[in-house]
Amino acid sequence: MSSAPQGISYLDGIRLNRCLCASFERLISAQDQLNKINVFPVPDGDTGTNLAATADSIGVCIQQLDTRHAGELLIQVADAALDGARGNSGAIIAQFFQGLADSCEDKSRLLPADFVEGFQAGADYARSAIADPKHGTILTLIDEVAIKLTEYHQQNPDRGFISLLQHTLKRARIALAETQQQLEVLRQAGVVDAGAKGFMLLIEGISNFLSRGSLREVPVPRTDPGAVDALTGFESHEGDIDHRYCTECLIHGEHIDHRKLRERLSPLGSSMIIAGTPRKSKIHIHVDEPAAVFEIAGSYGELTGRKADDMHQQAHAVSSGNRRYAVITDSAADLPDTAMEDYDIHVVPVRVQFGNASYLDKVGMTHQQFFQELKTNPELPKTSQPAPGDYRRMYDFLCSHFEHVFCISLTAKLSGTWQAARNAAERARKPEAITLIDSRSASLGQGLIALHAAECIAAGLEQAEITQSIEAIRERTRTFALITDLSYAVRGGRVHPAVHQLARLLGIHPILHAPGNGKVGPGGFIFSGKGRLKRFIRYLSRQLDPDTRYRIGVAHADNKAAAIEVHDELLRLNTNIVDSYITDLGAALGAHVGPDTVGMAAQEDTPMPTDKKNPDN
């Protein structure tokens, strides 16, 4: 590769594009190490993943562009950054690029003076996006770089980009090291701020490319070991997390008032960032009730890119250094929150759409809110699989902390969720570290299979043993649901209206059955009227072999009293049930079976092939 000239005096769109591509590759290559030093604002170990997702979003966009106009390129960069921004640092970087683009939009070529002025505008924009900026973070580093760029250029107005960036980086590295002493949590952990380190990698990437790359060639993705060696060895530290969900969305509207939006969102949580323009704005905030954020944001325009990551679970996963493997499932799996938390089962939410209003299943609205909306809204909800990007972020985050990830999906014969998970796995950074397994089930059955996978991990089984055990347990897991109102299935197109009319005429309620082969269909019926729940309980008891031990789960669609009755009676009638739980029925199945539905899944209590952690068990 030919050496770049030492006196680069301008960057047009083509040159700037290649500089940015090299810069993003440098950042993406370091995401695992950035995750390991992420302790502020919360120790959830995902700053590297979020910054990489932001950089990847921009990179995918600009690799398709061939404009020679630097300002036009930066406008596209800012827009792509806003669309793809993830996490605190991602949102701040998106706002930085917005300021840089606004300052340089009419410049076909960036001279050093233009770059310095634009960088300062970016720093100002970034700081304005933060409700409560802290010293010792990515903002501190951006400010220090802006100051040093200005000072050096004023003293050396005739020097080109290489000298400008190299001299600035000397001060920036000092500023980065100082962040360790500027925030107590960083000092205690013995690390620098992860977001600041990520921004430093971006600047280093541009500087190194200008010094050693070729402005005539598109940079080849590569990992620079020297850029990440200083991070190796750091591990995440647990700390206090004031709010549970890292919540984000993108507003598309007209005249979005950031000040008023900030005033309405501030009481809900912390770490708030509002980036973007009056027509497209990115919200990032840590809250306990994501639905409240989406409701307020939705009053300003159309929402896209909803996200609500469980930071408690992420922090717990990061601190669980004794586990080599992790489990992911989608929100179609119905399990109690306590089981999800105890076994670190990570969930990618299904999307739920009521007319023009869109929600994240089990996050964007509560169980009770969903079924109340189902009863009163004339528009039947539609459910759709998670976006592949949701899976990919989860894969990349977990693969940076675990050797291998097992993903248990909703049956492929009912939904495109399995395909979305597969597409994301193929595009993940470490596809070889991901095993995708079709649960061949749904709801409670899928939840029990995910729980079994987590128990295999806790027992210390190896990767091949875990896969074999999960695949075997699918055939030993069956799910049943009593549907008392077929009208929801008819409206959703799952059942022909004539079937509904016949059921009403005969006075019967169908029982849905998922036998573990991927299909869900009729499993029988009971007569309606008084005593129907007891008849359903007797039906369920007949499905249980008295010589086999079972674990069962019972779920309800806003009908907890019925679930308790089913659960307690099954335990009384069947002494071979060794474990059980009651939970809420999620929207993925609830949208089709309607309110008051009660379901049960039974899984044979199969001993682990070996329990390496507890050999006496």
DSSP string, 370-389: HHHHHHH-SSPPEEEPPPHH
d(CA 527, CA 612): 49
pLDDT at position 54 is 93
Residue closest to 536 by CA, chosen among 547, 523, 549: 523
Q: How far, in Å, are 291, 324, 442, 454, 611 from residue 466 at the CA level?
A: 36, 12, 20, 9, 12
pTM: 0.78
Number of H helices, E strands in the chain: 25, 19
Beta bridge partners of 281: 251, 276
Q: Which domains does the chain have, with CATH numbers?
A: 11-231 (1.25.40.340), 245-474 (3.40.50.10170), 477-604 (3.30.1180.10)
Per-residue pLDDT of 33-47, as tens digits, reads: 999 999 888 888 899
Per-residue pLDDT of 142-165, as tens digits, reads: 999 999 999 999 999 999 999 999
pLDDT at position 610 is 54
Which of 3-7, 10-14, 196-200, 541-545 has the weakest average pLDDT? 3-7
pLDDT band at 313 (very low <50, low <70, confident <90, very high): confident
- The one-letter amino acid at 452: H
pLDDT at position 320 is 64
Per-residue pLDDT of 277-303, as tens digits, reads: 999 999 999 999 998 999 999 999 999
β-bridge pairing 351-354 and 345-348: unpaired
The more confidently predicted of residues 470 and 357 is 470
d(CA 155, CA 280): 38
Would the pLDDT of 321 be above 90? no
pLDDT at position 388 is 80
Kindly state the percentage of the chain with pLDDT values over 90.
Answer: 67
Categorise residue 270: left if φ over 0, alpha if ψ from -120 to 50, beta otherwise: beta
pLDDT band at 606 (very low <50, low <70, confident <90, very high): confident
Taking residue 260's Cβ as centre, other Cβ atoms within 10 Å add up to: 10
Per-residue pLDDT of 517-545, as tens digits, reads: 998 888 889 888 888 999 999 999 999 99
Per-residue pLDDT of 342-390, as tens digits, reads: 898 999 998 888 887 778 888 877 888 889 889 888 888 888 888 888 8
Contact 213, 4 (CB under 8 A): yes
- Residues 319-337: what's their mean pLDDT? 87
